[in-house]
Structure 1
Amino acid sequence: MSGPSLTPQQLFENLYAAHTEEQVDQVINDNPNIFNGNNWYPLGGNENNYGVIENQQASPIAALIEKITNSIDATLMKKCYETNIDPKSASAPKTMDEARELFFPDYKNWDLNNPRKNQAKNLQILADGPKLTPSLTIYDNGEGQHPDDFEQTFLSLLRGNKNEIHFVQGKYNMGGSGAIIFCGKKGYQLIGSRRFDKTGDFGFTFVREHPLTKEEEGRKKNTWYEFLKIDGVIPAFKISKLDLGLHETWFETGTVMKLYSYDLPAGSRSVISRDLNQSINEYLFEPALPILTVDRKYRYPDDRNLERDLYGLKRRLELEDNRYVEDYFSENYAEEPFGKFKVTCYVFKTRIEDKNIKETKEAIQREFFKNNMSVMFSVNGQVHGNFTSEFITRSLKFNLLKYHLLIHVDCTHMHYNFRKELFMASRDRLKEGDETTQLRKFLASKLGTVKGRLAEIEKRRKDSISVDSKDTTEMLKSFSKNLPMDSALMRLLNQTFKLEQKDDKPKPKEQKKEVQHREEKEPFKPQRFPSFLKIKSSTDKGIAAINLPRGQDKTIFFKTDVENHYFDRIEEPGEFKVGIISYKGKNEANGGTAPGKEEVIETIFNVTTSSPHEGTIRLNLNTKNEVRVGDEIEMKVTLTGPGEDFEELFLVKISDPEQKKEETKKIEKEDDQHIGLPPFVLVYKEAREGFQTWDKVSEGIDAEIDYNTVMAPQVSGGNLDKIIINMDSHVLKAFKSKHKDATTIEIADKKYISSVYFHTLFLYTITKNRKYAISKEDDNNKEIDLEVYLRDLFSSFYSEFILNFGTNDLLQMISE
């Protein structure tokens, strides 16, 4: 309908039925009396709102997440009002978790499909219109707003409406406007709402980017964003309920928003119940409420699963039947200047059933890394910033885990003053400041330690390629011994590798050590719940005693029988609590002892606790400045269980700092990482005695080997560990086809091995020492790893060239 007779309800229905910008334009053009210049008002009451709205989320997914987060907030607010609690009062929940437990006492049933999906119907995301640029509708059965309150809520900017409410995510009252810039070319957005108690009418408004007139273009630098009122008021009409095409739901109260022609990224443009669902799961790592994503049959008539609920990536990762995740573990830190935070590491398999290495890697990236977030930093379950996989290769130096490791950092309980300096106000990226740098270094030092779980996994994968070839050892020894010691070549190689030095003096023979018989360790039998907790320590007067050097770290081990994922699993998780019973401080003034003042543990120690691993829980303590030598702290740890808790008491005695180990030992340790040149490993497609197969070595290089592969370097921690040479490559087969007798074929093999090996060695060494960064033009100039570049280089014509043209051949060709 059109003309002056169009009622508010008819106008809303016409706008809601439009699924593209063009269809909205038609509604606007048909009703010039409604959409005239006098009925438009700037968002936030200020025409200078362009900067606030444009400088928010950098991606359409992150902007959409803010809308969803507002819907979660609105749902929790509704429940708070229904419970007759003032959300700003002291009796209101202090955290989002507390709010969920109070307002949804049966929330643990959401682990089950039906209860979770029923709850998810209260917060829906629906798609309409074209497949590539769908219009998205977001509905929540939340608190809703009266039409008269729209300008103080939906249409305001920087009012801080939620700043005094602790159990919601929103704070600045601006995040919801960030999605406007991704609504097609004109910023069209429809907002409709009715208060949860049904005391008012259903109100609605329409938002757009103001189209500058010719006159305005001459005197305005920027446009602005505006909303619709009719005759000075938000249009409204009475309803009992509305059929808005929601999934198995009538609209009665709450809020509905429609984002027209939304500019979704390429990876999320397909069925939104699958692709967009996965992206939202990443950004909402652990949301307070489940959400339903709904696509339409007319858009995808052949898809059988158009409605899928989502409840965060954490839940997807920690499901017992997850076919992608090999293992996961967590570390809890309480350390200055950060405060308390938890880090969980998820390690993915290198190969899953029915897929090879390459297909597995692609599936993992598609399912869990759609937005290239390898390290996620979240607050209240929403990701506020991230590091890419370069953190894994450059900071942790775990090359083999680059595509197989996801790290979640829960910043919810960090010190406020530190946390606020980590994230931009848009809540989609980290600030490039001192706090981010400090946290990055801390995570690298803790997670990248050579004694850590990740280093253990990296080493296991690296060692899956065994080196057992006398030819390898002899060739490398011969090469390094025959190099002139003062040559530039020797100096170049010594920058990366420790070559065997010439020494005329005979080395004394090492005495053989007696091999001690080791008892076989009984296999660990994990239990769902613990049945004991025991500290591994000596005792002093019947109580376990720990000597802790002041200012240094000490790790205390506790034995138990509970399964590894006890602290992190979705259903019935446990806790490991650390507390102080008494603190006796040394009184140096009178030589006696006196009870210290009552302290919380974080004021005395930096504390790290680990999730159980094969029956062991680690507690790491480091003293703070207030602690003095001679102080004694009686402590208690508690491992919670469903029936009973298990406790252990122990005494921490602060001792003098231990002397640092000799520097020579440290140097020896560093040198051990670079002993000799990297070995080469010969591989074949089929099994041969004394050699490994393509399939066997794939895990150790995180890449598939086939007939086109000539060489694959194994790089870990920035070091070239091994050079894998494919003896069944097309290049070698073609090269050997020119030779007929066994002797020349053997010579061809040796030339192939030596040429590929040394060219790889020097190309790697020179490129790394010169600090080149390699990128690929047809991949948006994305930087690629050196080992990937070399593997591709040798798979092209380079290996064919070095095999078929020696120096003499080239000189002869030039002379001719």
Structure 2
Amino acid sequence: MKTPKQIFEELFQCHTEELVDNYIANNSDIFQQGNWSPLGGNENNYGVIENQQASPIAALIEKITNSIDATLMRKCYEADIDPKSDDAPKSMEEARESFFPDYKNWDLTGPRKAQAKNIQILADGPKLNSSLTIYDNGEGQHPEDLENTFLSLLRGNKNEIHFVQGKYNMGGSGAIIFCGKKGYQLIGSRRFDKTGDFGFTLIREHPLSKEEESKKKNTWYEYLKIDRKIPSFKIDKLDLNLHEALFETGSIVKLYSYTLPEGSRSVISRDLNQSLNEFLFNPALPILTVDRKYRYPKDINLERDLYGLQRRLEQSENKYIEDYFSETFREEPFGSFKVTSYVFKSRIDGKNIKETKTAIQSEFFKNNMSVLFSLNGQVHGSYTSEFITRSLKLNLLKHHLLIHVDCTHMDYNFRKELFMASRDRLKDGEETARLRKFLANKLGAGNGQLAQIEKKRKDSISVDTKDTTEMLKSFSKNLPMDSEMMKLLSQTFKLEQKKENPIKKDTGKKRETEEKEPFLPKRFPSFFKFKTAKKDGINAVNLPRGQDKSISFQTDVENHYFDRVEEPGDLKIALVSYNKKNESDGGDASPGIENIEEILNINHSSPREGTIRLNLTAKNSVQVGDEIELKITLSGAGEDFEEIFLVKVADPEAPKVNKEKKDDEDQFGLPPFVLVYKDKKEDHLTWEEVEEGINSDISYETVMIPQVSNENLEKVVINMDSKVLKDFKTQYKSVDQLAVAERKYISSVYFHTLFLYMITKNRKYSIAKQNNGTNINEPVELETYLQDLFSSHYSAFILNFGTNDLLQGISE
């Protein structure tokens, strides 16, 4: 009979599911059915385990989260603090600060990697059939306690402990279904204080017998016991091939033949590391990922620490990031939460648009998550880039924008309705829909920073309207204004006739060009002041009831002060007094109000070139005539600065009448076309010059690219060096004939694009394409479909067949 130590060591040396199968078959006396017990003490555990994380990466994150929790728990016990007592930290952030006073040194490679060795993820086995081992030097468990911790389900062991992530006591079991075909998972643990033995067990999916198959709908998951107890043995140290460590205490879990998604199957210290970073946006502790030399003998970097996506995005040497900024919202029913937007460059050194896009997706979007919702640094749900195109309507930023929503400080009653218990996706409920709509309105605002960035990229394509105007004028004159076609055009593009020789009024005002002094940011602010001049010696603003009010403060701190990982600052807003109309209490009168969020919605932005903006909206309970005194504190590692100002609630303001002359009075409503060439030609743009504005590469195969924003067709970029045009022109020889051929090409491409776009939008068609290798239809943007359509045989067809009638109205 083998000893428990032999069984564990031999099982641990199995690196695939097949080897575990063989070991069980060769030791049937140990693994007889009588030695297996159902996980959680219930044979109906199949549903709990199977209906957890939808992806193997998200399931693996739960294992890592458990290791982080265990490490913090160990530190709490070592500090002689009951984790459930009032003396225990109230948050994960507070626990890190209390138990790891030198944690700020983890921004340095050496200290970070030294700490990361306490939580390791290691790979073994064949490259395409890898087993993963997760080790932590955390609290550990006695053998007799494993059934109430690692092997239990839904016991809520951590529900009263505020500084750990786990609470349902089931997340660790979610990875079982991704362990090969049979769910093999080896667990070993020893208590941190070395007071007990090392206990272990093997988990598997129960193999149904022929008799059971006829009676049971589902199988269940079970764990090994020997002589009716968890097998155990005494240890001093175990050599488990960890990185620069021997196992003494803590826990170790081996996941056999773990199903990793494509893109994370090679060197785990690189590819899996990147995927884990996406789900661990800002973890409390660093982790080490380790691959083996025998698996990748030519790789020189097999050990890499990971410390969250936020640090990867915000590190100063990040060549991918163009800018990032944040807004903090305090509104009902959400409570307080922060949204940070990261904008990626459209082109990085040495790469074209397409190569840059591919690199960005590989480095930061392995799991197709463009909007991340996190709690205590762990991503609990996400949106794809569909949110950016359909809700924000920022098509150019589809592959160049990542949004992080920190839900840690949200109101508990709202937050608990957002996430599934599996912590890997959002619920499809009223709260989720409300938050999505709120984010779409705030982040997609036309005067917001994201819209400005998209506009700047679009405006990189300058338009010479001369050619466009002449063609559109000819086109419009040859179509009856009351025709069905013109009606259809007007519905989509608001077509109007261009006025001949418009007269520009001389306003008599001369524009003065003021040279703006360069902004010289500081790491910490040296001042902070209300931007508006004082009235009667006090800072005061009028807040129209039911309307927004934007207030600005001046400072000299750098733009990323609120968002940076190292020594970030904060803007704190406190209620000094609230005086209701017709009340004579005065002084600190705050009638039944405990915090500012009860009477005001308050949002603030991260600093921007020396300006911090505060946006206020009064709640319905606030009346005209009420006065609210606020204290704003700009805090951080440096000196704190305070400003106090008075908010006077006033009558709503009448809407402003925009007296500016409308642009479309002097323009056609139809979008212009832009002619581009591979190389510079006269006043026309080159491929490279317009690629940023269309977020796409242009090649000889490209015919046209529609520029769409907010579901409006704004420009049609036509490639004058396309293979289609070159082939078409081979039929002609004279200069005049070639000119006609080019005109025919431009008009055919432009008007077919126009009408296809118009009809598709007006008929409210949606377009989908079957994903390669699956039967899933994925939505495709109309502009993407049209670009692909014209790059195929369609453009050659419209040039050579059936275009005479269309062109007759615009011929010379």
1:329 pairs with one of 325, 331, 340: 325
1:596 pairs with one of 578, 590, 594: 590
Structure 2 residue 691 is matched with structure 1 residue 695: no
Structure 2 residue 369 is matched with structure 1 residue 376: no
Counterpart residue identity of residue 652, structure 1: V
1:708 pairs with one of 680, 691, 701: 701
Measure, in 2, the Cα distance between the counterparts of 1:89 and 1:108: 27
| 1:495 positional shift | 2.1
Within 5 Å, give how 1:296-375 maps onto structure 2.
Answer: 296-375=292-371
1:587 pairs with one of 582, 590, 613: 582
Asked if structure 2 preserves the Cα contact closer than 8 Å seen for 1:498 and 1:674, the reply is no
Measure, in 1, the Cα distance between the counterparts of 2:761 and 2:32: 64
Counterpart residue identity of residue 7, structure 2: L
Measure, in 2, the Cα distance between the counterparts of 1:282 and 1:673: 49
Structure 2 residue 603 is matched with structure 1 residue 608: yes
Measure, in 1, the Cα distance between the counterparts of 2:651 and 2:48: 56
| 1:770 positional shift | 2.2
* Cross-structure match for 2:624: 629
Tell me the secondary structure at the aligned position of residue 323 of structure 2: strand
* Cross-structure match for 1:719: 712
Give CA deviations for 1:540-580 in whole Å, capped at 9, x if unaligned: 22111100012211110111111111111122211111122
Structure 2 residue 565 is matched with structure 1 residue 573: no
| 1:481 positional shift | 3.9
Tell me the secondary structure at the aligned position of residue 714 of structure 2: strand
1:18 pairs with one of 14, 20, 26: 14
Counterpart residue identity of residue 645, structure 1: D
Structure 2 residue 679 is matched with structure 1 residue 683: no
Asked if structure 1 preserves the Cα contact closer than 8 Å seen for 2:117 and 2:243, the reply is yes
- Alignment CA distance shift 1:86-1:527 (3 Å): same
| 1:46 positional shift | 0.5
Structure 2 residue 29 is matched with structure 1 residue 33: yes
Asked if structure 1 preserves the Cα contact closer than 8 Å seen for 2:577 and 2:587, the reply is no
Identify the range of structure 1 (763-772 vs 456-465) with the bigger mean alpha-carbon deviation: 763-772
TM-score, normalisation: structure 2? 0.96
2:270 pairs with one of 264, 268, 274: 274
Asked if structure 2 preserves the Cα contact closer than 8 Å seen for 1:496 and 1:674, the reply is no
Counterpart residue identity of residue 621, structure 2: E
Asked if structure 2 preserves the Cα contact closer than 8 Å seen for 1:397 and 1:718, the reply is yes
Give CA deviations for 1:312-355 in whole Å, capped at 9, x if unaligned: 00000000010000000011111000001000000000000010
Measure, in 2, the Cα distance between the counterparts of 1:125 and 1:732: 55
Asked if structure 1 preserves the Cα contact closer than 8 Å seen for 2:337 and 2:405, the reply is yes
* Cross-structure match for 2:790: 794
| 1:640 positional shift | 2.1
- Alignment CA distance shift 1:673-1:247 (3 Å): farther
Counterpart residue identity of residue 596, structure 1: S
TM-score, normalisation: structure 1? 0.95
* Cross-structure match for 1:517: 512
Identify the range of structure 1 (475-484 vs 524-533) with the bigger mean alpha-carbon deviation: 475-484
Measure, in 2, the Cα distance between the counterparts of 1:687 and 1:513: 40
Give CA deviations for 1:377-424 in whole Å, capped at 9, x if unaligned: 000000000111011011100000000000000001111110010000
- Alignment CA distance shift 1:272-1:738 (3 Å): same
Counterpart residue identity of residue 757, structure 2: Y
Tell me the secondary structure at the aligned position of residue 331 of structure 1: strand
Measure, in 2, the Cα distance between the counterparts of 1:294 and 1:346: 29
* Cross-structure match for 2:540: 545
Measure, in 2, the Cα distance between the counterparts of 1:508 and 1:115: 70
Give CA deviations for 1:485-510 in whole Å, capped at 9, x if unaligned: 22221122222201015999x98864
Within 5 Å, give how 1:217-296 maps onto structure 2.
Answer: 217-296=213-292
* Cross-structure match for 2:550: 555
Counterpart residue identity of residue 323, structure 1: K
| 1:281 positional shift | 0.2
Measure, in 2, the Cα distance between the counterparts of 1:600 and 1:651: 16
Measure, in 2, the Cα distance between the counterparts of 1:733 and 1:32: 74
Measure, in 1, the Cα distance between the counterparts of 2:626 and 2:538: 16
Asked if structure 2 preserves the Cα contact closer than 8 Å seen for 1:127 and 1:272, the reply is yes
Counterpart residue identity of residue 609, structure 1: H
Measure, in 2, the Cα distance between the counterparts of 1:809 and 1:472: 20
- Alignment CA distance shift 1:647-1:592 (3 Å): closer
Measure, in 1, the Cα distance between the counterparts of 2:72 and 2:659: 58
Counterpart residue identity of residue 685, structure 2: Q
- Matched length: 802
Identify the range of structure 1 (303-312 vs 485-494) with the bigger mean alpha-carbon deviation: 485-494
Identify the range of structure 1 (767-776 vs 205-214) with the bigger mean alpha-carbon deviation: 767-776
| 1:479 positional shift | 1.8
RMSD (Å) for aligned C-alpha atoms: 2.1
Segments of 5+ residues of structure 1 without an aligned counterpart are 811-816
- Alignment CA distance shift 1:314-1:753 (3 Å): same
Structure 2 residue 413 is matched with structure 1 residue 417: yes
Counterpart residue identity of residue 115, structure 1: P
Measure, in 2, the Cα distance between the counterparts of 1:277 and 1:211: 34
| 1:581 positional shift | 1.9
- Alignment CA distance shift 1:700-1:278 (3 Å): same
2:651 pairs with one of 652, 656, 662: 656
* Cross-structure match for 1:814: none
Tell me the secondary structure at the aligned position of residue 269 of structure 2: coil
Asked if structure 1 preserves the Cα contact closer than 8 Å seen for 2:206 and 2:220, the reply is yes
Give CA deviations for 1:678-709 in whole Å, capped at 9, x if unaligned: 10000111112211110000000000011111
Asked if structure 1 preserves the Cα contact closer than 8 Å seen for 2:577 and 2:588, the reply is no
Give CA deviations for 1:359-389 in whole Å, capped at 9, x if unaligned: 0000000100100000000000000001110
* Cross-structure match for 2:809: none
- Alignment CA distance shift 1:36-1:410 (3 Å): same
| 1:221 positional shift | 0.8
- How many percent of aligned residue pairs carry the same amino acid? 72
